[in-house]
Amino acid sequence: MKKKIFQYIIIATLVSGVIISCTKLDEEVYSEVLPSKFNPSEKDLPSILAPTYASLRTVMCGWQGYFDLQEEAADCIITPVRPNGWDDAGTYRRMHQHTWTTQEYQPFNTWQNAYSSITKCNMILSQIEEGTLKLEAIKESAVAELRAVRALAYYLLLDNHGNVPIVTSFKDVSLPKQNTRAEVYAFVLKELNEVLPVLSEDAATTYGRMNKWGAKALLAKIYLNSEIYVGTPEYEKCIKEADDVINSNKYQLDNNYSDVFTYTNQNSKEIIFAIPYDEIYGVGNQIHLKTLDPLSQSVYQMTAQPWGGNCAVPQFIDTYDADDSRMKDSWIQGPQINPTSGQVMINYVKFVPGMGGTDGIVAASNQGFRIGKYVIKPKATGAMDNDFPFLRYGDVLMMKAEALLRTGKSNEAALIVTEIRKRAFKDNPGKATVTGADLLKGSNYQYGLQAPDGKVSVVNGGADIVYGRFLDELGWEFAAEAHRRQDLIRFGVFQTKRWFNHSPHPQAQTRTLFPIPQDELAKNPNLKQNPGY
């Protein structure tokens, strides 16, 4: 018996030996990369930098992204209720009427993606600093580029949310403190100015990336809006930065307006900083799906059915000169023909009865001109090839022109505006010329509320807008380029005018900043809501 017991003890010991060695619970990872398995070197730099730019792709054309945030709050583009939907719990109506809530997705999306880019920049910067990412010779230029991208992302927040936390460390995950708009403004300027000397001056190899000229164009933009941001105009600085870009001779106006926006626009000579898209690699540009009616599918022989959508405000279309070719280049209008059958699929008309939704108005499928600026490739898929021109030479010229105009040099400004207009009036060159006196006039936009029958009532017009004509020029040149909200604020229109179904918000001045997203306020008690919300 004793012998047997001894036997059992031996067995029990051995069995427990099996058990103890079988408690290894290390995760075996197959479809993810562990840091230990990745030793980055210079050749990996593009992949390491890429995510910081990828966020911009999402923010610009993503669902209810930056494009919508800038355009639907302004006076050129609306998304009315359609038979196929587009009420979406009233969000487009609220964007239009400036009654957005603190939970509105569009400002939230911009916040999320801007900070996503910022955090990724911070992460890579900290890896470079710690030496886990060894870049040797290119370290300095990589750091400069990352800081420039981060500054660009902060610029989006500066412009839209204003009072946001400035975070520059990745390691510190304590809840960030809020900064004022002025601090953010100063931070962005400081960062850009500091990295300028190191940034690449080569335009050809830095397409889609922040180079010196992109940074300067961005500086010009910030200086142009400086009065809005911090109350101090900086038009001279704006002119200087614009001149640096102009005198670099790296960029020029493209011969054709549509060259800047077409599906091969990576060849454009005009684009300074693009957010590149690609139908295979860089998907995300869905402007065509969002604007076109489903019936347009066969017109372009598209492999995806559009679900549009948004369209032009009729009052804005009325401001165009009949001979301005940008009108046709920017907006899809009239009968749309199936190229194989010759059949008219749909006929887009200018008229739109209203935003709809609560009053029961539903805009018909064919009502409203559609965004056609980003030329739709035949047989387009659900993702456009067209890159989004975030900063372009034409924009730099017009920034300079506006700064000149605002500093009393209207004739100099007029020369630049005329240069811009030339390619829009090729068939009618005489109409291209504007004078300094023209630019001092008001706007042609018939601001006022549009009734469901199309009549504009409660008119408060555009004649009283200071430099209103210049604002019109901006509208024609930069329609559907996500500029309009900023421009309207600078010209005071955003806060004061009526258009389509929009009346000024009772606290209009506070609407020039979007609210801090409610979700973020809830997560970070250090944040305080912007005034007026």
Subset of residues 192 to 221 that bind another protein, contact rule: CB under 8 A: 205, 207-209
**Which is closer to another protein, CB of 51 or CB of 442?**
51
Q: Are 476 and 324 in contact (CB under 8 A)?
A: yes
| Site string (143-182) toward another protein, x via CB under 8 A | ----------------------x-x-xx-xxxxx------
Under rule CB under 8 A, residue 524 binds another protein: yes
Q: Does position 4 bind another protein by CB under 8 A?
A: yes
Q: Which stretch binds another protein (CB under 8 A): 4-12, 412-420, 424-432, 443-451?
A: 4-12
Shortest reach from residue 60's CB to another protein, in Å? 13
* By CB under 8 A, residue 519 contacts another protein: yes
Q: Residue 355 or residue 404: which is nearer to another protein going by CB?
A: 355
Q: What is the smallest separation between the CB atom of 242 and another protein, expressed in angstroms?
A: 26
**By the rule CB under 8 A, 502 interacts with another protein:** no
Note whether 428 binds another protein by CB under 8 A.
no
Distance separating alpha carbons of residues 207 and 387, to the nearest angstrom: 11
Does 453 engage in binding with another protein (CB under 8 A)?
no
For the segment 303-342, give every residue that binds another protein (CB under 8 A).
303-305, 307
46, 131, 231, 430: which one binds another protein (CB under 8 A): 46
- Subset of 237-276 contacting another protein (CB under 8 A): 266, 276
Q: Does 112 bind another protein (CB under 8 A)?
A: yes
> Which one-letter amino acid corresponds to residue 188?
V
Q: Residue 391: which H helix or E strand, with range?
A: strand 388-392
Give the C-alpha separation, 270 to 367, whole Å. 33
CA atoms of 20 and 14, how far apart (whole Å): 10
Out of 31, 247, 249, 341, name the contact with another protein by CB under 8 A: 31
Cβ-based neighbours of 34, under 8 Å, separated by 6 or more: none
Is there a contact between 229 and 296 (Cβ–Cβ < 8 Å)? no
Which structure tokens are listed for 463?
Answer: 């004649």
* Closest approach of another protein to the CB of residue 11, in Å: 6
Residues 474/465, Cβ–Cβ less than 8 Å? no
d(CA 495, CA 497): 6
| Residue 84 touches another protein, criterion: CB under 8 A | yes
430 belongs to the binding site for another protein (CB under 8 A) = no
Query: Which range binds another protein by CB under 8 A, 60-68, 233-241, 393-401, 517-525?
Result: 517-525
Give the C-alpha separation, 210 to 199, whole Å: 8
**Residue 514 binds another protein, judged by CB under 8 A:** no
Select the span of 30-38, 65-73, 437-445, 448-456 touching another protein (CB under 8 A).
30-38
Q: 64: which residues sit within 8 A by CB, 6+ positions away?
A: 91, 105, 106, 109
CB under 8 A: which stretch of 119-127, 181-189, 389-397, 488-496 binds another protein? 119-127
Q: Does 452 bind another protein (CB under 8 A)?
A: no
Q: Which of 2, 3, 26, 341 binds another protein (CB under 8 A)?
A: 26
Q: Is residue 439 within 8 Å of residue 413, measured between CB atoms?
A: yes
In the complex with another protein, the residue whose CB is nearer, 254 or 520, is 520
**Is residue 411 at the binding interface for another protein, with CB under 8 A as the rule?**
no
| Nearest-angstrom CA–CA distance, 375 and 99 | 33
- Distances from the Cα of 177 to the Cαs of 153, 174, 521, in angstroms? 18, 9, 12
| Binding of another protein by 460 (CB under 8 A) | no
Q: What gap in Å lies between CA 124 and CA 133, rounded to an integer?
A: 8
Token pair, residue 450, equals 């549009």
Interface with another protein includes 344 (CB under 8 A)? no
Task: Give the Cα separation of 20 and 30 in Å (integer).
Answer: 26
Residues contacting another protein: total by CB under 8 A: 104
- 241, 213 Cβ separation under 8 angstroms: no
Least separation in angstroms between residue 527's CB and another protein is: 8
Q: Judged by CB under 8 A, does residue 57 bind another protein?
A: yes
Question: Residue 419 interacts with another protein (CB under 8 A)?
Answer: no
C-alpha distances (whole Å) from 183 to each of 18, 156, 300 are 63, 14, 48
Contact track, another protein, 362-391, x by CB under 8 A:
x----------------x-x-----x----
Q: How far is CA 379 from CA 119, 298, 303, 339, 384, in A?
A: 38, 9, 6, 11, 10
Q: Which one-letter amino acid corresponds to residue 458? A: V
CB of 444 to another protein, least distance (A): 33
Q: Is 33 in the site for another protein (CB under 8 A)?
A: yes
Q: Is 366 helix (H, G, I), strand (E, B) or coil?
A: coil
Phi, psi of 384 (to 5 degrees): -80, 155
Q: Which is nearer to another protein, 157 or 192 (CB)?
A: 157
Other Cβ atoms closer than 10 A to 457: 10
Beta strand ranges found along 276-369 (DSSP E): 311-312, 331-332, 334-337, 344-348
Among 41, 103, 132, 232, binds another protein (CB under 8 A): 103
Binding of another protein by 8 (CB under 8 A): yes
Q: Which of residues 123-142 bind another protein (CB under 8 A)?
A: 123
Residue (322 or 522) nearer to another protein, CB = 522
Of 70, 110, 116, 160, the residue at the interface with another protein (CB under 8 A) is 116
Closer to another protein at the Cβ: 1 or 137? Answer: 1
- Kindly report the backbone phi and psi dihedral angles of residue 331, in degrees, each rounded to the nearest multiple of 5, phi listed first: -130, 130
